[in-house]
Structure 1
Amino acid sequence: MDAEIPGKPPIVSAGNKPAAASTSSFIGAECLPKESSEQARDAWTINFTFLLTGVSEQNDLSALYRAAVSGVTLTALSKFAQSVDMLSSDSMLIKLIGLSGRTIRCRLKIPHERLSSDQSARAIRGALLLDQAVKVIGSLELAEEWMLKPSIGLDGGKPIDLLENSIGGQLVSDLLTRLEYGVYQ
């Protein structure tokens, strides 16, 4: 369930499962309730779509479209990749946006440079799917594990592998929706 705290970016409840340990160093005061504690870290995780775009409402497709057209900054993409363990490898970044980790690191010398509209849209789609997976599955750690394992609902494919194009992304989103409503146990 989405929750908003005045003056803070929107956050998504991560259920009873703790967030991945590697994200704890990235989650700062700007992403947690003011009374941040270990218990708060266990109960909350960042909103990846907001992190990339600054758009607080994930259902505002017009705002997300405008963010993609104007381009996601490499700084935002870097923060997103650092906050998600499965995006730490270059091959995952290639799948997500079509740029290798090496290219991104070289381009980070100009941190306010923006990705192309297509690359931005792919990154935003990945963030939306990760936000959806965290919401449905219960924690970032479990969502990442799920994204990396073969799924019967995807004909044995790994959800992360399907993010290479929009049709695969839609398949992953549809499966998450079915899981949310209990169609697949």
Structure 2
Amino acid sequence: MDSSHACARWPASAPRKPTEYLLRKNTDQLSPAMVYRLTVKGFDLKDVQDMLAISDLYSTKKIMSRIVGKSIRTIQRQGNKQPAHLNSQQSAIAFQYAKVLEHATHVFGTQKLAEEWLGRSCRYLDGEVPLDVIDNPVGFMVLADYLERIEFGVYQ
């Protein structure tokens, strides 16, 4: 995707949601089945890096290594040999990180507050840090449920 194409889709004045970096579309335009198919196809490494770069928390906590299950150095070496592309499992984890950041930003009102919450231990998670449970499918579901509870004021 060339940069002129990206600019046509997202004007500079309209900030993109984390999931839009990965899907290359507004999520309102995609059905859950379409999101699934894009995840199975796999995301480009560059799109994942761009999504992580919008978050101070994500860009400083080695989230890329968590997503791909490899060191940053290995990822960089592979990226130099060929256009790097994540597999479906890695893409699903990247999507989980994007989705949680997006949902937490909506719930807390700003990305800064969302990131503060994501980086602190949480009593609801028995002292676990939300950021540390996102890459597990069950942890992701627990976070999504808890964020909904906070959003609707039904939490402990």
- TM-score, normalised relative to structure 2: 0.83
Show the counterpart of 1:64: 35
Show the counterpart of 2:23: 53
Q: Deviations over 1:36-76 (max 9, x none)?
A: xxxxxxxxx43010111113226721121111111100110
Q: CA deviation at 1:132?
A: 0.5
Q: CA deviation at 1:101?
A: 2.3
Q: CA deviation at 1:8?
A: 4.1
Q: Name the SS of the counterpart of 1:102 in structure 2.
A: helix
Q: CA deviation at 1:92?
A: 2.7
Aligned amino acid, residue 51 of structure 1? Y
Show the counterpart of 2:74: 103
> Does the C-alpha gap of structure 1 residues 99 and 137 become closer, same or farther in structure 2, counting only changes over 3 Å?
farther
Aligned amino acid, residue 171 of structure 1? V
Structure with greater strand share of residues: 1
Instruction: Detail structure 1 runs of 4+ shifted over 6 Å in the superposition.
Output: none
| In structure 1, distance between residues paired with 2:78 and 2:55 | 20
| In structure 1, distance between residues paired with 2:148 and 2:50 | 27
Aligned amino acid, residue 76 of structure 1? D
- The question of whether the paired residues in 2 share the 8 Å contact of 1:73 and 1:111 is answered with no
Residue 110 (structure 2) pairs with residue 139 (structure 1) = yes
| In structure 2, distance between residues paired with 1:86 and 1:101 | 16
| In structure 1, distance between residues paired with 2:63 and 2:129 | 12
- The question of whether the paired residues in 2 share the 8 Å contact of 1:96 and 1:163 is answered with no
Show the counterpart of 1:117: 88
Show the counterpart of 1:20: none
Q: What residue ranges of structure 1 are gaps of 5+ in the alignment?
A: 1-6, 10-27, 34-44
Show the counterpart of 2:3: none
Structure with greater helix share of residues: 2
Match of 1:159 among 122, 126, 130: 130
| In structure 2, distance between residues paired with 1:52 and 1:80 | 7
> Which is further off, 48-57 or 134-143?
48-57
- The question of whether the paired residues in 2 share the 8 Å contact of 1:74 and 1:111 is answered with no
| In structure 2, distance between residues paired with 1:61 and 1:99 | 28
> Does the C-alpha gap of structure 1 residues 91 and 57 become closer, same or farther in structure 2, counting only changes over 3 Å?
closer
Q: CA deviation at 1:90?
A: 5.7
